Chains A and B, each alone.
Chain A
Amino acid sequence: MKNDSPIVFVVDDDFRVREALTSLISSVGLRVAVFNSATQFLESEKPDAPACLVLDLQLPGTNGLELQRQLVTGDAPPIIFISGHGDIPSSVRAMKAGAVEFLSKPFNDQELLQAIDAAITRDRAARQRRSELAELQRHYDLLTPREREVLPFVVAGCANKVTAAELGTAEITIGVHRGQIMRKMGARSLAELVRMADTLGIPRRPDLSKSRPA
Chain B
Amino acid sequence: MCKTQLLHGVKNVSKSAASPGEDPLASSIPDGTAPLESILCTEELQSRASRPRNYEKENQALRTLVCALADSPKTIFQTLAETIKDITQCDSAGLSLLTIDGKTPDIGGQRFYWPAIAGMWSSHVGGGTPRDFGPCGDVLDSNRALLFRHFERRYAYLVPVSPPAEECLLVPFYVKGVAVGTIWAIMHSDRRKFDAEDNCVMSSLAIFSSSAYQAVVSIDDLKSQIKAREEADSRLRELTRVEVGVIIDGLEAQVRTREEFHRVVVETASDAVVSIDHRGDILLANHATTTTFGYEPSELIGRPLTMLMPEYLRNLHEAGLKRYRDTGHRHINWQGTELIGLRKNGEEFPVEVSFGEINNDGQRVFTGFIRDISERKQAEEALRARERDLSLIIETIPGMVWCAAPDGELNYLNQRLLDYTGTSPDAWEQLGWTNFLHPDDAEAAVRAWSHAVATSQSYDNQCRLRRFDGVYRWFRVLGQAALDAEGKVTRWYGLLIDIDDRKNMEEALRNSEMRLSRATRSATVGEFAASIAHEINQPLAAVVTNGHACLRWLSAQPPGLAKAQEAAERIVRDGAEAGEIVRRIRALFKQAPLEKIDLDMNAIIDEVLVLVSGETMRRRVAVETDLDKGLAPVAGDRVQLQQLVFNLVLNGIEAMDSVLDRPKKVFISSRRHSPEAVLVEIRDCGVGLMDPEKVFEAFFTTKENGMGMGLAVCRSIIDAHHGRLWAASDERAGTTFSFTLPPATIRAVS
Q: Are B553 and A17 in contact (CB under 8 A)?
A: no
Q: Are B538 and A105 in contact (CB under 8 A)?
A: yes
User: Interface stretch among A23-31, A42-50, A66-74, A147-155?
Assistant: A23-31
| Chain B residues within an 8 Å CB radius of A146 | none
Task: Specify which of B543, B550, B552, B567 is in contact with A106 (CB 8 Å cutoff).
Answer: B543
Alpha-carbon separation in the docked complex, A195 to B629 (Å): 97
Q: Are A27 and B560 in contact (CB under 8 A)?
A: yes
Output the least CB separation between B532 and chain A (Å).
10
The reply to whether the CB of A2 lies closer than 8 angstroms to some CB of chain B is no
| Chain B residues within an 8 Å CB radius of A58 | 534
| Chain A residues within an 8 Å CB radius of B566 | 23
Output the least CB separation between B495 and chain A (Å).
49
Q: Are B540 and A106 in contact (CB under 8 A)?
A: yes
Which residues of B559-605 have CB atoms within 8 Å of chain A's CB atoms? 560, 563, 566-567, 570, 574
The reply to whether the CB of B611 lies closer than 8 angstroms to some CB of chain A is no
Which residues of A67-109 have CB atoms within 8 Å of chain B's CB atoms? 82, 84-85, 105-109
What class of interface size applies to chain A in its complex with B? 20 to 34
Q: A16-B570, A24-B552 are in contact. Are A106 and B563 (CB under 8 A)?
A: no
Q: Are A21 and B556 in contact (CB under 8 A)?
A: no
Output the least CB separation between A207 and chain B (Å).
59
Q: Are B549 and A23 in contact (CB under 8 A)?
A: yes
Output the least CB separation between A112 and chain B (Å).
8
Alpha-carbon separation in the docked complex, A27 to B558 (Å): 12
Alpha-carbon separation in the docked complex, A21 to B574 (Å): 14
Q: Are B574 and A16 in contact (CB under 8 A)?
A: yes
Alpha-carbon separation in the docked complex, A109 to B534 (Å): 20
Residue of A nearest to B533 (CB): A85
Output the least CB separation between B367 and chain A (Å).
98
Output the least CB separation between B709 and chain A (Å).
18
Task: Specify which of B544, B549, B574 is in contact with A27 (CB 8 Å cutoff).
Answer: B549
Alpha-carbon separation in the docked complex, A26 to B543 (Å): 17
Q: Are A85 and B546 in contact (CB under 8 A)?
A: no
Residue of A nearest to B530 (CB): A85
Q: Are A106 and B553 in contact (CB under 8 A)?
A: no
The reply to whether the CB of A19 lies closer than 8 angstroms to some CB of chain B is yes
Residue of B nearest to A22 (CB): B549
Q: A20-B570, A106-B544 are in contact. Are A14 and B538 (CB under 8 A)?
A: yes
| Chain B residues within an 8 Å CB radius of A28 | 552
Alpha-carbon separation in the docked complex, A27 to B547 (Å): 12
Q: Are A105 and B540 in contact (CB under 8 A)?
A: yes
Output the least CB separation between A109 and chain B (Å).
3
Mark each residue of chain A from 105 to 134: 1 if its CB lies under 8 Å from any CB of chain B, else 0: 111110000000000000000000000000
Q: Are A27 and B553 in contact (CB under 8 A)?
A: yes
Q: Are B537 and A106 in contact (CB under 8 A)?
A: yes
The reply to whether the CB of B686 lies closer than 8 angstroms to some CB of chain A is no
| Chain A residues within an 8 Å CB radius of B546 | 19-20, 23-24
Residue of B nearest to A110 (CB): B548
Task: Specify which of A20, A105, A107, A108 is in contact with B567 (CB 8 Å cutoff).
Answer: A20
| Chain A residues within an 8 Å CB radius of B541 | 16-17, 20, 82, 84, 105-107
Alpha-carbon separation in the docked complex, A24 to B544 (Å): 10
Alpha-carbon separation in the docked complex, A27 to B562 (Å): 12
| Chain A residues within an 8 Å CB radius of B574 | 16, 20
Alpha-carbon separation in the docked complex, A146 to B563 (Å): 64
Task: Specify which of A21, A26, A84, A109 is in contact with B538 (CB 8 Å cutoff).
Answer: A84
Alpha-carbon separation in the docked complex, A27 to B563 (Å): 9
Residue of B nearest to A24 (CB): B549
Alpha-carbon separation in the docked complex, A23 to B556 (Å): 13
Q: Are B570 and A109 in contact (CB under 8 A)?
A: no
Q: A23-B546, A27-B553, A109-B545 are in contact. Are A16 and B538 (CB under 8 A)?
A: yes
Residue of B nearest to A21 (CB): B545
The reply to whether the CB of B542 lies closer than 8 angstroms to some CB of chain A is yes
Residue of A nearest to B538 (CB): A14
Alpha-carbon separation in the docked complex, A191 to B382 (Å): 104
The reply to whether the CB of B20 lies closer than 8 angstroms to some CB of chain A is no
Residue of B nearest to A18 (CB): B542
Q: Are A17 and B552 in contact (CB under 8 A)?
A: no
Q: Are A19 and B542 in contact (CB under 8 A)?
A: yes
Q: Are A84 and B534 in contact (CB under 8 A)?
A: yes
Alpha-carbon separation in the docked complex, A197 to B541 (Å): 50
Q: A27-B563, A85-B533, A106-B544 are in contact. Are A16 and B549 (CB under 8 A)?
A: no
| Chain B residues within an 8 Å CB radius of A23 | 545-546, 549-550, 553, 563, 566-567, 570
| Chain A residues within an 8 Å CB radius of B533 | 84-85
Output the least CB separation between B464 and chain A (Å).
36
The reply to whether the CB of B539 lies closer than 8 angstroms to some CB of chain A is yes
Q: Are B548 and A24 in contact (CB under 8 A)?
A: yes
Alpha-carbon separation in the docked complex, A19 to B539 (Å): 11
Q: Are A20 and B542 in contact (CB under 8 A)?
A: yes
Residue of B nearest to A16 (CB): B542
| Chain B residues within an 8 Å CB radius of A105 | 537-538, 540-541, 544
Output the least CB separation between B574 and chain A (Å).
5
Q: Are B538 and A17 in contact (CB under 8 A)?
A: yes
Give the residue among A19, A23, A58, A82 with the most B Cβ atoms within 10 A: A23
| Chain B residues within an 8 Å CB radius of A14 | 538, 542
Q: Are B556 and A27 in contact (CB under 8 A)?
A: yes
Mark each residue of chain A from 147 to 184: 1 if its CB lies under 8 Å from any CB of chain B, else 0: 00000000000000000000000000000000000000
Residue of A nearest to B554 (CB): A27
Give the residue among B533, B538, B543, B544 with the most A Cβ atoms within 10 A: B538
Give the residue among B530, B548, B552, B563 with the most A Cβ atoms within 10 A: B548
Output the least CB separation between B656 and chain A (Å).
27
Taking beta carbons and an 8 Å cutoff, which residues of B are in contact with A? Answer: 530, 533-534, 537-546, 548-550, 552-553, 556, 560, 563, 566-567, 570, 574
Question: 26 A-B Cβ contacts within 8 A?
Answer: A14-B538, A14-B542, A16-B538, A16-B570, A16-B574, A17-B538, A17-B541, A20-B542, A20-B543, A20-B545, A20-B567, A23-B545, A23-B549, A23-B550, A23-B553, A23-B563, A24-B552, A27-B549, A27-B552, A27-B556, A27-B563, A28-B552, A82-B541, A85-B537, A106-B541, A106-B543
Q: Which 5 A-B pairs have the closest CB atoms?
A: A109-B548, A105-B541, A106-B544, A16-B542, A20-B545
Known: A21-B545, A24-B552, A58-B534. 12 other contacts (CB 8 A): A14-B542, A16-B574, A19-B542, A19-B546, A20-B549, A26-B563, A27-B563, A82-B541, A84-B534, A105-B541, A108-B548, A109-B545
